[in-house]
Amino acid sequence: MVKKPTPDSTRRSEKSRRAIYDAALTLVGEVGYPKTTIEGIAARAGVGKQTIYRWWSSKADVLLEAFLDLGEQAAEQAAGQGGEPGAEYAIPDTGDLAADLKYVLRATVDELLDPKFEAPSRALAAEGVVNEQLGREFVTKLLEPQLRLYVQRLRSAQEVGQVRPGIDPRIALELFVSPLAQRWLQRTAPISYEYTDTLVDYALHGLAPR
Amino acid sequence: MVKKPTPDSTRRSEKSRRAIYDAALTLVGEVGYPKTTIEGIAARAGVGKQTIYRWWSSKADVLLEAFLDLGEQAAEQAAGQGGEPGAEYAIPDTGDLAADLKYVLRATVDELLDPKFEAPSRALAAEGVVNEQLGREFVTKLLEPQLRLYVQRLRSAQEVGQVRPGIDPRIALELFVSPLAQRWLQRTAPISYEYTDTLVDYALHGLAPR
Amino acid sequence: MVKKPTPDSTRRSEKSRRAIYDAALTLVGEVGYPKTTIEGIAARAGVGKQTIYRWWSSKADVLLEAFLDLGEQAAEQAAGQGGEPGAEYAIPDTGDLAADLKYVLRATVDELLDPKFEAPSRALAAEGVVNEQLGREFVTKLLEPQLRLYVQRLRSAQEVGQVRPGIDPRIALELFVSPLAQRWLQRTAPISYEYTDTLVDYALHGLAPR
Amino acid sequence: MVKKPTPDSTRRSEKSRRAIYDAALTLVGEVGYPKTTIEGIAARAGVGKQTIYRWWSSKADVLLEAFLDLGEQAAEQAAGQGGEPGAEYAIPDTGDLAADLKYVLRATVDELLDPKFEAPSRALAAEGVVNEQLGREFVTKLLEPQLRLYVQRLRSAQEVGQVRPGIDPRIALELFVSPLAQRWLQRTAPISYEYTDTLVDYALHGLAPR
DNA sequence: ACTTAAACGAGACGGTACGTCGAGTCTTACC
DNA sequence: GGTAAGACTCGACGTACCGTCTCGTTTAAGT
């Protein structure tokens, strides 16, 4: 086994890292993921290829970190502008579960339709489908943290009797989250506020007559 | 799928077509989709590269047709062995909606875990996420026909009062189908009979107390 | 041992070969041998790098063949314009050995000072010093054929008693050829007609008093 | 050799210099000149790359100095063991010019066949052919000092009437030195005592009958 | 002996070229 | 005219070194 000399991260150039994130996200947006090349990212970032290969193992890896960084930046910005830090990532708890879920799903719809996020997140999702290692990172670092918020909200609803006690929240949340995700990813049908509202209604009250 | 100037399909070599399908599916299974190359398929199939470029527009296109062909072959085989043609693709209608759905979802679980199908269908799904044109073909030719069967079954359930009248079956089916699809695609959690049974129960009776 | 698939030389593109020779010679002349790159040759020749790697094993190899080709072309041209074919490569035999040697060495001086030949032949000579395989090819294909002509001329001189019988012509020729070669290669001193004339005189009559 | 802005040579690390010389010579011997890299020398010498770039302008420059140093070391060693300092670099003058020349050329043959000297001196000679600046340094610092000894010896021979008065010693010496050099550099033929003896005889008495 | 500025080792950086792989096009010979 | 074979141009891959540029850390001269 050949040893990689383990680069010294204290010496790492912050400027280059930022430039690489920017270039990667921009290029994926402009020309699409498959036509985004490491050479292209390096050129656009004004960086040597080796600087990319030194710190990341693949194009997908660069993009994943760039995307995570994008999220952190957005979070910091939001946190800076007011409210408790991290608060905007919680699901509201007004006491009305249906309303709260509809609200947050509508926000998700907005985000999914935001062209700035679309290309990179599609690319990552696609890569994750086929590349197990990247897929697991994608899920643990991006997806699960989001889903945990739903678990919390559903548990809190269970406590006040708005959700039946036996229900497993981790499965329950999929009834409305997964359909939205799949419509977006696979373009089986357009997504809209009306659609997500309907999902919440169906999920809460069931398909069968009561 | 995309037509090139004037290939005369009557003179097409059936043997080459089959060999290309086989080679494509085998290679995707052996080395994965990204490392499957057109040159590799041609070499494995004992075919000139031009023969592939003449009849298909891309690697994804070859694989899609190969996969559709695989399905047709399976169907013919099943049909040949007994039962009405196409019957095995319908969802049973025993009068008990929950049981019927659980039954067919369990069959889907089996299929999704079949390693022969896994690599190519993952590859196609991934490609479809990023490549809109291929994605639409994938959905119309493979996904939607399946989903239509659920729509039919749900409509029949509505007629006998097992599903509330106002419910849109096209949306309703997503409550149990999409979660399964997403768990499989994104590996957020393992899939099992128990899991799909639970999905059906939750979807039919809702999360809220009755 | 990995097999190279042995390219089919009957299919080789003559146009590309010519373009590569031209580009290689031009570039060596313009920017010097070390700054001449295979990529540069390919670009200048309007050719893919692979086409170079398919037919040659190294930069030096390309240049050697290009140079040999240049010689052949020059020979053909000269042959076409008159005289017996190959005649211009023989050393004249007027009966006066000293005069004949001086004549041909003066021609060599002219050639060595011709800027068109200088860069590539220097490059090849240098490479040959350090790269044994290339060196041997250089010697057998370019140098020895020239030297053989001197051997012939000296032998003919021996027959008419202008050179002592015991003398080994292969060594004798070095007395005037090698000094010229070394002055040129190593720039120890300038070369001129006067210099080569002197060499011939010294070599024929010796340094010691008679 | 080329001066960089202001490196203070009084503070220079002698240890590093030695280590760099050693590493350079060893590497050229082990992997050949072209595969010897500055990074490789630095690593092998346990030295930062900058330390090399601070004191030398190129790989060839390092090697030239390393080689000169090697010569000086050899000289010092020889001087230390006996004889007058520098004496071993003179050509003996026993009164018999032929014998003296044969003796010293035999010593040169021994040196040229010494594998320790072979790789670096070949490398330097080759580089000098193509790189004019390095070539001139090579000639003035290594070659000419040697050749001057022959000039002296020939002049002394002239004084005692063993060489004709009109002969230019600087040219005369090339009659036997250059052939040896060229055979060694270009491997046109093997070198031996017999060969150099013959050269001396031919050069002194000429090729023509007397 | 203490200070302090240089030379030093280490190695990250922006680059250039390497030699390889595959894409998609084109040509040749065969059937 | 479709086909197997494979040479062609082109573009990207991941690697190796280039020469420059920081980083601490010796280290030796001048206080």
Mean of the pLDDT values across residues D44-55? 97
Nearest-CA residue of chain A relative to B164? A209
Residue C88 reports pLDDT greater than 50: no
Strand F contact with C5 (CB < 7 A): yes
Average pLDDT, chain D: 90
Nearest-CA residue of chain C relative to D127? C126
Residues B3-35: tens digit of each pLDDT: 345 677 787 888 999 999 999 999 999 999 999
Least confident of A5-14, C155-164, C166-175, C182-191: A5-14
Strand E contact with D23 (CB < 7 A): no
Residue B77 reports pLDDT greater than 90: no
Distance CA D120, CA D66 (A): 9
CA distances from A72 to A65, A67, A88, A120, B200 (A): 10, 9, 12, 15, 37
Residues B156-168: tens digit of each pLDDT: 999 999 999 999 9
Q: Looking up tokens 């043959």, which residue turns up?
A: D109
Query: What amino acid is encoded at C100 in this protein?
Result: D
In contact, B183 and A182? CB cutoff 8 Å: no
Confidence of residue C42 (pLDDT cuts 50, 70, 90): very high
Distance CA A160, CA A95 (A): 8
As a whole number of angstroms, the longest Cα–Cα distance in chain A is 65
Nearest CB partner across the interface for A123, out of B130, B163, B170: B130
Nearest-CA residue of chain B relative to A185? B129
Percentage of chain B surpassing pLDDT 70? 91
D7 CA from E5 C1′ (Å): 13
Quote the minimal CA–CA distance from C189 to chain D in Å. Answer: 10
Mean of the pLDDT values across residues C162-187? 97
Residues A51-78: tens digit of each pLDDT: 999 999 999 999 999 999 988 887 777 6
Q: In this structure, what token pair is assigned to residue A133?
A: 């290692």
Least confident of B107-111, B166-170, D131-135, D170-174: D131-135
Confidence of residue A81 (pLDDT cuts 50, 70, 90): low
Q: Which nucleotide is nearest to A42 (CA to C1')?
A: E14
Nearest CB partner across the interface for C204, out of D139, D188, D208: D208
Confidence of residue C2 (pLDDT cuts 50, 70, 90): low
More confident site: D186 or A86: D186
Residue C120 reports pLDDT greater than 80: yes
Residue among D60, D65, D62 at smallest CA distance from D51: D62
Mean of the pLDDT values across residues A80-103? 77
Confidence of residue B97 (pLDDT cuts 50, 70, 90): very high
pLDDT at residue B89, as a whole number: 66
List all nucleotides in chain E with at least one atom under 7 A from a protein Cβ.
6-28
Q: Which nucleotide is nearest to C16 (CA to C1')?
A: F8
Strand F contact with C47 (CB < 7 A): yes
Please report the DSSP string for chain A in residue order: -PPP----GGG--HHHHHHHHHHHHHHHHHH-TTT--HHHHHHHHT--HHHHHHH-SSHHHHHHHHHHHHHHHHHHHHHHHSSSTTGGGSPP-SS-HHHHHHHHHHHHHHHHH-HHHHHHHHHHHHHHHH-HHHHHHHIIIIIHHHHHHHHHHHHHHHHTTSS-TT--HHHHTHHHHHHHHHHHHH-SS---HHHHHHHHHHHHH-SS--
Nearest CB partner across the interface for A203, out of B129, B139, B207: B207
Residue C82 reports pLDDT greater than 60: no
CA distances from A135 to A59, A140, B122, D102 (A): 14, 9, 12, 78
By the 10 Å C-beta count (0-12 exposed, 13-18 middle, 19+ buried), C11 is classed as: exposed
Percentage of chain A surpassing pLDDT 70? 92
Chain B residues within 8 A of A162 when measuring between CB atoms: 208-209
Average pLDDT, chain A: 91
User: Testing the interface with B: which of A105, A130, A173, A194 to mutate, by most B Cβ within 10 A?
Assistant: A130
Strand E contact with A35 (CB < 7 A): no
Residue A37 reports pLDDT greater than 90: yes
Chain C residues within 8 A of D129 when measuring between CB atoms: 122, 125-126, 129, 185-186
Mean of the pLDDT values across residues A9-34? 95
The protein residue nearest E27 (Cα–C1') is C11
In contact, B111 and B89? CB cutoff 8 Å: no
pTM beyond 0.85: yes
Strand F contact with C84 (CB < 7 A): no
Confidence of residue B44 (pLDDT cuts 50, 70, 90): very high
Subunits adjacent to chain C (3 or more Cβ pairs under 8 Å): D
Q: In this structure, what token pair is assigned to residue D204?
A: 């002194």
Nearest-CA residue of chain B relative to A198? B171
pLDDT at residue B155, as a whole number: 96
List all nucleotides in chain F with at least one atom under 7 A from a protein Cβ.
1-23, 28-29
pLDDT at residue B88, as a whole number: 47
CB pair distance less than 8 Å for A161 and B186? no
Residues D98-147: tens digit of each pLDDT: 999 999 999 999 999 998 888 899 999 999 998 888 999 999 999 999 99
Residue D3 reports pLDDT greater than 60: no
Confidence of residue D94 (pLDDT cuts 50, 70, 90): very high
Confidence of residue A18 (pLDDT cuts 50, 70, 90): very high
Confidence of residue B75 (pLDDT cuts 50, 70, 90): confident
Nearest CB partner across the interface for C162, out of D125, D143, D208: D208
Chain C residues within 8 A of D32 when measuring between CB atoms: 130
